[in-house]
Amino acid sequence: MYAQDSIDLLQNSGLQFREHEEHGIEPIEFAELLMSSGIVLMDNIKWLSFHSGYDFGYLLKLLTDQNLPQDENEFFESLRLYFPKVYDVKYLMKLCKNLKGGLQEVADQLELRRVGPQHQAGSDSHLTGMAFFKIKEIFFDGNIESTSGHLYGLGAPCSPNSNNIQECVENGNSP
C-alpha cells in the first residue's frame, strides 16, 4: 500500500527507487545498526521531526520486528520507550497561532534559508532543525519540554472549548 502522489513527489525530487533496491541497506540490518548505535532508548537524545507519525511508525516496526499496535495508547508507549524525547515541528506549529503549511512554508514564515534541494533528507532535516530551534525561541521562550512525545495528527484532541493550550499538552492531548 502506498500513495502514488508521494511516490511521484519522491521521484521528481531525484529519488531512484531501483538504485535503492539494488544498493541500499537491508531494513533488518538498518534496525540492528540503529539499535546498537546508542541513539534509541536514550532519554538524553532528542529526535526532531516534521509530521512524523508514519516515520516513527516505520522505525518502531523495524526495531521491534512486529506489527504496530492497533491501540494508539500502546503505540505511544512504544514510542516513548524507543524514542523518549520526540519533537514534531508540525505539532508545534499547531500550538502557534500564525504558523501554517508544510516545512518550506513554515521556514519562509520564520525567515529561514534552506540549504540544498527540497524533499532531500539532509536538506529537510537541516531545515526541520532550524525551524524547531526558531519556534522554541520565539513561541516557547525556550521551554518546550511539555510538547515532547506528541505527533501531529495523532492523540486525543483537546476539547473545542479549551482555551489553555499548555493544559492540553500537559494532559497528553492535541489542541
CATH code for the domain of 19: 3.30.420.10
pLDDT, residue 6, reads 84
The total of structural domains in the chain comes to: 1
- Once rounded to an integer, what is the mean pLDDT over residues 49-63? 96
Say what the pTM is. 0.82
pLDDT, residue 13, reads 83
What mean pLDDT value characterizes the chain? Answer: 88
Structural domain boundaries enclosing 132:
4-170
**122 belongs to a structural domain:** yes
pLDDT at residue 163 above 70?
Answer: no
**27 belongs to a structural domain:** yes
**Per-residue pLDDT tens digits for 32-46:** 999 999 999 999 999
Give the cell for residue 52.
512524523
- 107: helix, coil or strand? helix
User: Is-contact 46 149, C-beta < 8 A?
Assistant: no
- 132: helix, coil or strand? helix
* Nearest alpha-carbon partner for 150 in 124, 171, 126: 171
User: Is-contact 60 98, C-beta < 8 A?
Assistant: no
**Per-residue pLDDT tens digits for 84-132:** 999 999 999 999 988 999 999 999 999 999 998 888 888 999 999 999 9
**8 belongs to a structural domain:** yes
**175 belongs to a structural domain:** no
The residue with cell 529561514 is 112
pLDDT, residue 162, reads 40
pLDDT at residue 30 above 60?
Answer: yes
- The Cβ of residue 84 has, within 10 Å, a number of other Cβ atoms equal to 17
